[in-house]
Structure 1
Amino acid sequence: MRALRRIFTHLLTAVLTAAITSLYWYGTYGRGSGGARAEPGPELVEKAVATAEGPVEVSLGPTGLAIPVSGIRPNQLVDTYKQARAGGARVHDAIDIMAPHGTPVIAAAPGRVEKLFFSKGGGGITAYVRSDDGKWIYYYAHLQDYAPGLKEGQKVERGSPIGRVGATGNANPDGPHLHFAIHRMVSGEDWHEGTAINPYPLLAGKR
């Protein structure tokens, strides 16, 4: 009888100890304000990345165009317009505006979204915005994603959200940036046509 009582006592003590320990760890790490929290699963992380938006800070160039990456100042821009690309087979015809992944990309000028296009081996996730007078196309490439609700035919104002800086297409993932181009258009030219002009002096005020 004593042996059974001793066994029962040991079992009860073990159960109570395990229960108290579990409650302690749950309270400290499961939902405590200062404890470690379980990491969200991959799906939650991807959803958060896809919907997160940062604050937008608009800087204007000397011509009134907005620098199309939030928080970038004119003196931070680099003229890459004539740099060689594709092993020297062509020139850049655009400028690269370096910024961290997810930095908001905004409209440089008012206009209408003419084309949202994905180019796997080129600009990746891209947006083409035609100016209100039809004479200019503003091209935004290598985006991480589009701004929520952005669609073709949509009217945008200077500073309106276009998307976020990324490295889609043929961009280096280690160097996220916005590839920004301006094309002068003549009557009848389609969204992918036009004559490239250098955005750098328009945004930075330097030749």
Structure 2
Amino acid sequence: MRKTTGSGGRHSVAATEELDRNILSVATAEFLQKGYSATSVDRICQIIGCSKPTIYRRYHSKQGLFKAVVRNQFQSLFHTVQNTDVSSTGPRAALKELVRRQLDFCLEQKFLGTYRILVADNQYIPDVINSMFSEIAQPFQQKIEDLLRPILHDPDSHDFNERLKFLAANLYGLITQWPMTQALMGREPFSSSEQRQKHLDFCWESVLKLLE
């Protein structure tokens, strides 16, 4: 067990973990309010009451700190992908549930705010965007493909993999593109939970026709 000391010595484990959470919380608020380019690490330090080396020992750079913020914001989607279980429901029902959760996630304010920054400041953070694509987007796309594979017809056809990738990409866009665009413009895409469910059901029926 690690030994800790009182005030004037090394931070206790609990204090270190609290500082880590505080850095991430303050950085998230600053990035979401100001965007990437306008956010100052000095300002984050001032709010927290710590030094820049304290932050850079953990994240090495401003871009590294922002990457940690984005990763933290996307954790719920990552867990959804990892925990989608087909053993009890089958791939078709699991796929519908996965895209429903994806729609919910895409309309959360934390996702919309992060997405706006990734688009607006993309020229400053290409490494962050590439990292998020490999850590989040690709696994999600792969999960959709894995669920589509056993329910797509003609698995032995020469263009099966091409059709599989096409359907996976379009399934995501069909269900999320319009509501997400509305939300990014500050509009409420659905006036009620019933309207949201109708949208999901209509899109799902369209997908089923493509699978025939």
Bin of the TM-score, shorter chain as denominator length: under 0.3
Larger Rg: 1
More helix by share: 2
TM-score (norm 1): 0.26
Q: Greater strand percent: which structure?
A: 1
